[in-house]
Amino acid sequence: MKMRSKLMALVALALLVAGQALAQEQKPQKIGTLNMDYVLAMMPEIKSIQSSLSTLQTQLQKQGEAKQKQYQQLVVKYQTEGPTMTLADRQQLERDIAALEEELNQFTTTAQEKLSAKQAELMGPINERVQEALKAIVAEEGYTHIFNIGVPQAGLEILFYIDPAYDVSNLVLKKMGIEPPADSQN
């Protein structure tokens, strides 16, 4: 019995020492927040970017409205004159309506892509400036995580920075029996 209690005490002591050593080795977490909406609103060049994007959006919207009006006119023509048209004329009008509908759908997709591309082009340098400032602050202050506390929106991350030491991706791969590449960061 004495041997067993000594062994248990020794195991408990070993676990305590190992736990303390592990706790000392772990880097303390330092979490910060960044309100990207606020930062962007304070940057003087944002007004010019917003104006450019608004102008492009207005142009695209006018083009879309013109196509929509043309489409509506063909539909009204089909509804009012269709029953009295010859079969060939009615079928041609149906093809025209279908083609214009497809063109409208394509225009909507293309317009959205143009607007997104222009936003990415104009915001790219701004985002780089913010990222550079953020990297410097992380290095100076020792943050391990930086969260965005602004209003969630497309293109803005929720988590701006995380110390790569906290990335468990390769551990997950190994646990699943997949060997991560040797040049991976973890």
In a domain, 154, yes or no: yes
In a domain, 5, yes or no: no
CB 137 within 8 A of CB 160: no
| Residues in CB range of 93: below 8 A, 6 or more apart | 74, 77, 78, 82, 85
- The pLDDT assigned to 174 comes to 77
CB atoms within 10 A of CB 37: 15
- The pLDDT assigned to 156 comes to 60
- The pLDDT assigned to 86 comes to 92
In a domain, 8, yes or no: no
Q: What is the pLDDT of residues 24-69, one digit of tens each?
A: 456 688 888 888 888 888 988 999 999 999 999 999 999 999 999 9
In a domain, 90, yes or no: yes
Q: What is the pLDDT of residues 75-96, one digit of tens each?
A: 999 999 989 999 999 999 999 9
Q: What is the pLDDT of residues 141-164, one digit of tens each?
A: 888 888 888 766 555 667 777 777
In a domain, 100, yes or no: yes
Count structural domains, the chain. Answer: 1
In a domain, 49, yes or no: yes
pTM beyond 0.85? no
Range of the domain at 142: 27-175
- The pLDDT assigned to 18 comes to 52
Tell me, what DSSP letter sits at residue 27?
P
In a domain, 144, yes or no: yes
Query: Quick one: pLDDT band at residue 98, thresholds 50, 70, 90?
Result: very high
Torsion angle, CA of 95/99/104/110, rounded to 10 degrees?
170
In a domain, 4, yes or no: no
